[in-house]
A and B are shown apart, each in its own frame.
Chain A
């Protein structure tokens, strides 16, 4: 197994795999191989710890039979066995399947795994292995660049308590005004016209990292990052306060921690906003809300009384399967429906989603990560009329351009 392999730079799993494939050329009888295309999993599932655990599924084969497992750089795994019943190998594969069952790759078994009987298919196997081992690391590299998850895209060592301390100290003395980005959320009216709902204002963490902690991955440790955002909130509020908050053209939204609502910085922000509070949406993370529900209720009532709108961020179909957030009574729910739901969801899944939207109340639902018109169409079929994402940003820009032409 992998653990037993030397970790030197020369002996990569790819090389060892190819050696083994070539070595067995003359003793092909009783040999089989399976190639698991785990590099095709969604980024979320292709993280090292997931793959490590997937390797475990083969332990009983490695230890009890003549089998070897090669875990390749891109995530793919190849198991080579001799005289092992197909059923045993399938048992191991079932375990892997159950681990990744949330991933659309598993919907198509042919895409997930390729079986080879080496007696008859040795040539195919050899050329397939030559291909993946040659391209392996390179393909993986490109893929990551093309679909960066937040965690991987950010270079550097994960945050530690020590680097967190430094990051906060630097942040306190950094102006972040120019790092504030925004994205439009829209509401589609009965006639199909799009109206601006609000503009979410947020700090680009990648840019912030480049400015204040190059070499440290701010998102590398979720708990410490959460702590960091408490300071970031205060800087954000101060930066927003520098703007002329009175007479805002469009409503805005801000991401805050619950604890921030009870700080002096928020009080100052509140004073600057004045009567425009009803044009401000405050977004809270689901985790933050559930970590202290009484505090959430207090913050929500406090904010709503002043006219603010409250939004619960970070919901997705999985979380909605686990709990019904309806009782939280915010003004909006932000739900991330991935591409895999948009295209080709089964009718059963669609029924489930109808139920979820109904439970939250369709007028409160805001569908996010909208990258295409199709996503909006999908949302509309569920009764959702509010959207946010790259595509809505473009839509608003296009509308503004059109308006510009109409009104010289």
Chain B
């Protein structure tokens, strides 16, 4: 499959073609990337880009949405007033961001950089060339991505937003698709200091990224939380039926699966529960998404009591630094919670380190898993605030490394 051209490469193409028509044109680079992370999520960038819609529709300008969230607008100089108006709107939209504090008339404009295409053409061109080549590098690096559920929602992947009609088509395709090769397994490990990670249990999940690539390339399955949530209900049924197949090698040790509360209350789960051996229930952890829980607490309580009585354990998934303070593990009767790693934790954007430590202590240090640990820094941070359990690409790498070492020792004849 050919990936669609990036905005950077389109911009480069556009600038190159502009060489002969640069008279009377100007450009403005809007540094959305300088805003706080919570102010530049997908919908913010979309809202910001929408501000320029009228200009683009009247053919007075061309807008590019860059990978780092910055916007680049090339426009005809007669439209300057309209551009100014749009920029004022933007500043209002992001008015609560520290970047836009002290914006008196004389203050430096930190949000926008203005260019005269005619006189600054070469500068613009080399700047855009640099972006385009850097973007190509990033694209190559990104190709190997992973993708569980909460990951997808948070990652806000590129692609067209999914419509209900596409969801319907996808669900029909899912009835026939073979999902067995899209099942992934990731370990939750205890990690103390620099010691070897100890496997505690493993999560089985369908790699949404692969599913998307296979069945709906160019469509962003996570564009609407609600449509995505519905889709996970369909996936639940497939996961349950896959797990009931006895020849499934992955059904060893303690495992966790993601399920919707509605699924737990459905015939499919009752059938699953009937078919698995009783001892299995004790080694299964059901991961329930925080938003699913909040959406219907009565059903959560009912389903929780039912599955606990059957012997399953419960983990609350989908918590981030914003929702963590609201989720009281003990009151909710969950065995574990998962907190998603984000550099924002380090920057103390929502909670100070001491506040976080207090929350973790209250939850129970052995009850909280820091997930999506992609690098060493995440683990170091977690350990510093008292977390003992970790999950993510970095942990998988450590495990793989450890396996390699063990095999090497074996080959060298160090067997007992």
A-B contact pairs, 19 of them (CB 8 A): A44-B298, A49-B265, A52-B265, A52-B267, A53-B270, A99-B305, A102-B302, A161-B168, A223-B227, A224-B164, A224-B226, A224-B227, A262-B43, A287-B294, A294-B38, A294-B41, A298-B38, A302-B93, A318-B297
A322→B270 contact, CB < 8 A:
no
CB proximity to A under 8 Å, residues B309-325 = 309, 322-323, 325
Interface residues of A in 43-85 (CB under 8 A from B): 44-45, 49-50, 52-53, 56
Contact A322 B230 (CB under 8 A): no
A207 to chain B: which residues have CB within 8 Å? none
Interface SS, A side: helix
Asked if A248 is an interface residue, CB under 8 A from chain B, the answer is: no
Q: Bound complex: CA of A324 vs CA of B327, how far in Å?
A: 9
- Which of A22-30, A162-170, A399-407 lies at the interface with chain B? A162-170
Number of interface residues of A (CB under 8 A): 49
Tell which of A227, A287, A325 touches B291, judged by Cβ atoms closer than 8 Å: A287
User: Is B301 located at the chain interface by the 8 A CB criterion?
Assistant: yes
Residues of chain A within 8 A (CB-CB) of B328 are: 322-323
Out of A52, A227, A295, which one reaches B43, CB within 8 Å? Answer: A295
- Bound-state CA distance A318–B297 (Å) is 7
Q: How far is the CB of A3 from chain B (nearest CB, A)?
A: 10
What 15 new A-B contacts, CB under 8 Å, besides A294-B322, A298-B96? A45-B302, A50-B265, A53-B302, A98-B305, A99-B305, A161-B171, A162-B164, A165-B168, A223-B230, A227-B164, A287-B294, A287-B295, A302-B93, A305-B95, A322-B331
Is B290 interfacial (CB-CB < 8 Å)?
yes
Q: Tell me the complex Cα distance, A23–B131, Å.
A: 85
Q: When each residue 87-99 of chain B gets 1 if its CB lies under 8 Å from chain A and 0 otherwise, what string results?
A: 0000001011000
A221 interface residue, CB < 8 Å from B?
A: yes
B163 within 8 A of A: yes
Residue of A nearest to B307 (CB): A53
Interface string of A196-240 (1 = CB under 8 A from B): 000000000000000000000000011110110000000000000
**Cβ B295 vs Cβ A222 within 8 A:** yes
Q: Tell me the bound Cα distance from A302 to B96 in angstroms.
A: 8
B212 adjacent to chain A (CB < 8 Å): no
A95 within 8 A of B: yes
A160 to B47, CA, bound (A): 29
Residues of chain A with a CB closer than 8 A to B266's CB: 49
Q: Digitize B274-305: 1 where CB-to-A-CB distance is under 8 Å, 0 elsewhere.
A: 00000000000000001100111110011001
Closest B residue by C-beta to A56: B270
By a CB distance below 8 angstroms, the chain B residues around A325 are 326
**A53-B265, A224-B226, A287-B291 known; A165 vs B163 contact (CB < 8 Å):** yes
Contacting residues of chain A (285-323) with chain B, CB-CB under 8 angstroms: 286-287, 290-295, 297-298, 301-302, 305, 316, 318-319, 321-323
Query: Chain B contacts of A316 at CB under 8 A?
Result: 297
- The minimal Cβ–Cβ distance linking B123 to chain A, given in whole angstroms, is 34
Known: A224-B164, A293-B323. A264 touches B224 (CB 8 A): no
Query: Is B168 a contact of A160 with CB atoms below 8 Å?
Result: yes
A95 CB contacts on chain B under 8 angstroms:
309
Please tell me if B384 contacts chain A, counting CB pairs below 8 Å: no
Residues of A within 8 A of B96 (CB): 298, 301-302, 305
Chain B residues lying within 8 Å of A324, measured Cβ to Cβ, are 326
The docked-state distance in angstroms from the alpha carbon of A262 to that of B294 is 24
Within 8 Å CB of A223, what residues of B?
226-227, 229-230, 233
Q: B229-273: which residues lie under 8 A (CB-CB) from chain A?
A: 229-230, 233, 265-267, 270
A327 at the interface (CB under 8 A from B): yes
Residue of A291, A301, A305, A322 touching B225 (CB-CB under 8 A) = A291
Q: How far is the CB of B101 from chain A (nearest CB, A)?
A: 14
Cβ of B165 within 8 Å of any chain A Cβ, yes or no, is yes
Q: A295-B41, A298-B39 are in contact. Are A327 and B325 (CB under 8 A)?
A: yes
Query: B274's closest neighbor in chain A, by CB?
Result: A59
Contact with A along B159-191 (1 / 0, CB 8 A): 000011101100100000000000000000000
* In the complex, residue of chain A having the shortest beta-carbon distance to the beta carbon of B167: A161
Q: Which residues of chain B are within 8 angstroms of A142 by Cβ–Cβ distance?
A: none
Minimum C-beta distance from B151 to chain A (A): 16
Closest CB-CB distance, A57 to chain B, in whole Å?
8
- Closest 10 pairs between A and B when the two form their complex, measured CB to CB: A161-B168, A293-B322, A49-B265, A294-B38, A165-B164, A161-B167, A227-B226, A223-B230, A226-B226, A164-B164
Q: Name the A residues within 8 Å of B44 (CB-CB).
A: 262, 298
CA distance A49 to B230 in the complex (A): 18
Q: Is there a chain A Cβ closer than 8 Å to B50's Cβ?
A: yes
A53 and B164 form a contact (CB under 8 A): no
Chain A residues with Cβ below 8 Å from B325 are 327
CA distance A316 to B168 in the complex (A): 34
Task: Give the complex CA separation of A98 and B301 in angstroms.
Answer: 10
Instruction: Determine if B164 and A161 form an interchain contact, defined as CB atoms under 8 angstroms apart.
Output: yes
B215 contacts A by Cβ under 8 Å: no
Contact A319 B297 (CB under 8 A): yes
Is A259 an interface position by the 8 A CB rule?
yes
B294: contacting residue among A45, A264, A290, A327, CB under 8 A: A290
Separation of A316 and B301 alpha carbons in the complex (Å) = 14
